[in-house]
Structure 1
Amino acid sequence: MTTRRALLAAARWTALALACAGGALHAQPSGDRALRLIVPTSPGSSADVGARLVGDRIQAASARPVVVENKVGAGGSLAAAYVAAAAPNGDTVGILGNTYQLFAEEFPSQKFDPVKDVVPVALISRGANVLLVASDSGYGRVDDIVRKARSQPGRLSYASAGIGSSTYHSAERLRMASGLDLIHIPYKGSPEAVQEVIAGRVDFAFAPVPVALSFIQGGRVKAVAVSASRRSAQLPDVPTTVEAGVPDSSYDTWLVALVPARTPRAVQLELNRVFTAATATPEIHAKFASLGVEPEDAGLDETQAFVAREYQRAKAARARMANAK
């Protein structure tokens, strides 16, 4: 039975959705409570940049305060668990990458179930991770890394944004597909991992294209390959890991807005309209393109069907990796 609280939440979000969809900067705020966007990674990371861009657009269109909060730790599972435990009124939204779907297996102590505890309400963007090496490392291709790793098993190292992050899974897909023995060194976020590559303390790292671009353009690192199933529009000359000669090594990334599972469907629908209205603007399209990611505008049912399919794919890939160890 719909409660009065749920009806009020839906009414607030209807007002906000209409403001965003119409670009009505003069619209009344949908309440004095801030919309909190919970990000699992450090400032400057792909999820953080995406959340801030979309949050700025939502705030400009609705006049409602939008606050981005970075809750870093345990590969993103701390943020996911925080969102799951929030009040189901639409005021707290997690902006997470697809890796949240495997948190139950990778961080069992968090007691987080990606199917029962949260529900996706909007796809934000799709992107890719790029394999980076230091400019003076001597590596020029994926094959250089593979050959050296095979000649020195257990000696080469890679950095990631932590176990469970998309950068970790990109590297693990490459490692498993190549049959390599590598040392994994986790960091708080991708910016920190890239700095370790530059400093020469690790051999390579995967990083989201938005994070990597400035380092690549500044000549501090070289882009060797992208982990996605297709090339990045921002790095058209950089091959995919499959094109570079490693079959079954691709790993696609996407960003999604999540809310507590008990959030009323009416609120879910309005949140979907809010986020898709924001990502549909020419401003966001241009900014996302400059960062190497593609905005999404799927409806609620389409979003939830897509995420459900991807969950089954992620579980299957996880099982294959476990069996190969």
Structure 2
Amino acid sequence: MDKEIEKLFKDVKVVDNDEAKKIYFITTGNIGEYMEHSEDEKLSNDALISRALLNYNLVDDEPKVEKKIMLLNNVFISLNDVPLDYEKYPFDLYIVSKHRLIEFYISLKDENNIEEETANLIEFYEEHKDNITGILRACYCNTLMQYADFNYQQNDIKTMFNTLHYALNTIENQNDVDSLCVKSRIYYNLATLYDQMHDTENAITCLNNTIYILNTLDDDDECKQYYVPSAMYELSRIYYDNKKYEDSLKSIIDCMNTCKKFGLETTLPLYGKAFCQYHKFSNNEQVRDNIIDVGTELAEFLEKYPKEKPLIADTKNNVYTILALTYLNKKDKEKSNYYFDKIIDNAQYLSDKTKTESI
């Protein structure tokens, strides 16, 4: 999603006319002087848009978040002087700039500006929604999701819940790829909230909606590769917690098969979690017979990855533990001890690493 947004302006050039030519050579070092100078001139709408684009295009080259925010605010200083009914009004520039501005304020946890800018964005969208469709509407809803997540971090569940539902209603009838991805993520996040509220039925519905929507996309879509198996895992967990074991087992098998389909290189941590969930059904004869084969294959795959990665280290530990206990139950001491040694080796590495980092 963000990569697509970036493409919108990556190759944008300022308007090529005499009035705007002088701003080609502005940098973050002299932008302030340029802005003060140009404020004294009466610029055409095209030149104002050029000035806004210039500020936007300087954002990525500026390392400091505060300067990035200044540049984005400069975008709106220019756009505020462009009539909204101007035929070339850059609604795309407005939406994407506001998206990034709120993103930076969230990184600073600047609650007042987050609230103010989000309110301004919602007001702007509601007044001009006919001009904000496709990827721009997806970008708008993506911003709302960021705002919802911020409220979740602030433990404001009600605002998060209302924001997600508003975003869902906003994008419900959009069926381009970007909108479908955002829509599926909204459902996924709503499922998390419903699950926390012990509303199992709605949680399951939202997760199934996530899977259904993403299954309309190509298999190489990154959003699909992450959220489809993740939703399947969550379904299995919720079913298990509600003692619907048959549904839970089916969902976790679907999750593991989907992880393998998309490639363990990208789904490895989730596949490891899914294997642990799968092990909960070891009283099932078919699962019990399959645990060693699946676990051994996964353990061998994990050996390709360095211990330095925390998620990999945790996954290794879980897989080794399951295999060690499974072989112990089968009274195969040699293989059981082999995996117990692996656990000890892994734990020793993590312990030494922790000591080194604390020195």
Interval containing the TM-score (normalised by the shorter chain): under 0.3
More helix per residue: 2
More strand per residue: 1
TM-score, reference length from structure 1: 0.25
TM-score, reference length from structure 2: 0.23
Larger RCO, structures 1/2 (Cα 8 Å, 6+ apart): 1
